[in-house]
Amino acid sequence: MPDAAAPSPDHALIANFYAAFARLDAEGMIACYHRDVGFSDPAFGELDAARVRGMWRMLCGRAKDLVVEVSGIVADGDHGGAHWEAHYTFATGRKVHNVIEAKFRFADGKIIRHDDAFDIWRWTRMALGPAGVLLGWTPLLRGAVRRKANAQLDAFLAVKPGKAG
């Protein structure tokens, strides 16, 4: 009986990305990305390549108790995906368990597109407490979360401009 086929290079790329994330190794994560990568998620919205790199450097640099678990990695042709969960303490001191579905597109042996989807109302309830429970479903609070996340990224990039690219 033949052995099961080895994972595709794109499957391994996704696994390497999340292994680097679990180690808080932003440079290892960034090495998995194409130079022209695009990213989106409910917290930051749409980010260009320089801001994607800056975001991971900021998040990995600030993380204190992050635990990343990944499962369900798939890669087929130039598309892929994964289920991942993050456990951490948010800046408010509240514990968060975020459940994320990631979609990827590949080009030149790298990730050129990364889209994370998660329930922002569930996240605001955990991260923000009562305000998240009452307002987390509203566009008003969702917009405020996005503005704050991007303002923090802007401040990070202003202090470490060479770390964007």
Quote the strand ranges of the chain, DSSP E. 33-41, 45-47, 67-76, 79-89, 95-107, 110-117
Residue 45 has pLDDT above 80, yes or no: yes
Query: What strand order describes the sheet that includes 95-107?
Result: 45-47, 33-41, 110-117, 95-107, 79-89, 67-76
Distance CA 152, CA 15 (A): 28
The pLDDT of 87-98, averaged and rounded, is 94
Q: 107: pLDDT confidence band, cut at 50, 70 and 90?
A: very high
Residue 12 has pLDDT above 70, yes or no: yes
Residue 132 has pLDDT above 80, yes or no: no
Residue 101 has pLDDT above 50, yes or no: yes
Residue 2 has pLDDT above 50, yes or no: no
Lowest mean pLDDT: which of 45-49, 55-59, 78-82, 126-130? 126-130
- Give this prediction's pTM: 0.89
Average per-residue pLDDT in the chain?
Answer: 90
Residue 118 has pLDDT above 60, yes or no: yes
% of the chain with per-residue pLDDT over 70? 87
pLDDT value, residue 131:
72
